A and B are shown apart, each in its own frame.
Chain A
């Protein structure tokens, strides 16, 4: 009889290899390793940046030099050697973008493997895609449609050239260069990323989407994303990542800044599937991300994320609810398996009156992984009637993984209403047997149970993204998906 035990479950979970572990062979134009002021200047020059940008980077670099890497998160990893990384890498071929024929076939193949054919995206999902391949955007689509509405959606390097007044005004306004170690580093060396501006009163007619991909081994990836939604506008932004399997650790320190002006709304969704390391915990991406949004009066920002990848994740998408009646939301699914470590959560900073925030966090741990939720709800002294609801659920598989919850609350105004709920559950043998008895094998049963557990968050994702996210949940937790 094919016995199914907890041990088998573990084994099955271990055998899931990184599905997207391939490497695209595109010639790269690469800097020598190491970081100093000259490298920062060289990056800026390479991108033909104006003086103010170069200065901004240098200032960030000086701040970074004086900082030390933070150690408070519940993660353990060998500290990256910041002088052993090359800080710039761009694909040598820069295809013209009028048609797909002009795109490097290698690149197209990569997209195919990822199941993200641009063609299909164009045809089916009405998604404009700005693909960031190894630091430089190599394809931008739908620019015209967006342009007609006055929407700007382009690589940030282009925005620095063509819309300096917008970039200058907003970059670093939510995440200052001095904010933290990784944000400072990013500010000094960021190679590319996306910029998005939605004019007053415009509702962006399509989901904006960027696929990030780390390529060249040993190249740190420092993306910078800036989204500005002007008064009364709306945008839904999708970010998805996969990376090839590599033996050495890869560092990723992105910064994402969102600005929602009065009555504006930004939905920012992420599906993240970077190489988590193999089953022995070797390799894998270090993901240290700073994501923060600022809400003015009546504005709303929602962060939705599905995190299945990375060896180490350090990430707290946050909202500063500065304007009265503004709303912040955070919906998160974080899956850890094998030796993955995730310390993720959010900060909701209530400054305005009648501000509201919702936090729904679903942590799924398997193997020997550690999954921590860390959240801060801060209510300032002038934030009358601030309200927060937090719910943190953990699902465990097996006995060797860990789930941890660290909710911090700082309420400086007596009218604040803060609610926190937390649950921990385990996938039980009874549940698996029940499913098996109905003809559902164990892999499928786990997928079903995990999807059910994550449903409240999956429901927040745009349709086409939700399907992809479900697939990711399955492959990150199963031996074989069938």
Chain B
């Protein structure tokens, strides 16, 4: 599904990613851990196509297609989804209106008709229920005045609506209380299938108890310095990152 080869990326001449290799197959869950500033969010942004970063070496393939020339929205149309570490506010645009626009833009790009209003509503209702989201919440302005946890839950709601192939969740767990974490994790698990894949960026082992990863990778100073199974996360929790440097 996702294949990253020797990826180097920089911003304003500062090298941040220094040769990343990663291979995520359909049906898999990968966790990426690592200290603050090691480049986790940068990796996520580069995969999503954020243009502030310059890819100086290497490539990213999605289902064997090189993403290099694709704009962020085109990557989204191909099924890339990024749950942001810091979701932005868009005043005056309701959650419903935003997600409706997002879905229909992707559908149009993929040669489908807009989703009829009735089906849209049906889908919204279903996914809101899955993630235990109050309907009133959906008519609020996107992320405006949302609590930290509400923002994260809203990101996963959008993921549920868009049904992406590849979901990258950047610290979706931070800011969630224990109950919310369970709800969100349960939502992600329900959405998982043999046809999609999930990359979890997290600092905490706790999330991985609910969404069990097939692989855990440690990112340090722009490189993956260690990979292992889910037990690696436990080891990191106990020992920290120092021993890997």
Contacts and interface: CB of A to CB of B under 8 A. Distances in A.
Contact of A439 (B84, B90, B93, B109): B109
A449 interface: yes
B140 to A, nearest CB: 12
B73 A5 contact: no
B37 to A, nearest CB: 19
Interface residues of A, number: 28
A178 interface: no
A437 B92 contact: no
> Could you say which interface size class chain B belongs to?
35 or more
B54 to A, nearest CB: 9
A455 B162 contact: no
B93 A448 contact: yes
B146 interface: no
A3 interface: yes
Contact of B73 (A428, A431, A440): A440
Interface stretch (B99-107, B127-135, B198-206, B234-242): B99-107
| Chain A interface SS verdict (over half) | helix
Given A2-B71, A4-B51, A448-B101, A454 B92 contact: yes
Nearest to B87: A434
A438 interface: yes
Interface in A442-481: 442, 444, 448-449, 451-456
Given A2-B69, A428-B88, A438-B158, A433 B50 contact: yes
B13 to A, nearest CB: 16
Most central of A2, A437, A441, A451 by chain B CB within 10 Å: A437
B76 interface: yes
Contact of B82 (A2, A5, A437, A456): A437
Interface string A187-231: 000000000000000000000000000000000000000000000
B214 interface: no
A1 interface: yes
| Chain B interface SS verdict (over half) | mixed
Nearest to B72: A436
A431 B88 CA distance: 6
A439 B76 contact: yes
A128 B215 CA distance: 68
29 contacts: A1-B49, A1-B51, A1-B71, A4-B51, A5-B51, A428-B88, A433-B72, A434-B84, A434-B87, A434-B90, A435-B102, A436-B49, A437-B49, A437-B82, A438-B76, A438-B98, A438-B162, A439-B76, A439-B77, A439-B162, A440-B102, A440-B105, A441-B71, A442-B73, A444-B101, A448-B101, A452-B90, A452-B91, A456-B92
In the A-B complex, the 9 residue pairs with the closest CB atoms: A452-B92, A452-B93, A436-B72, A439-B76, A438-B102, A455-B92, A439-B106, A3-B51, A436-B73
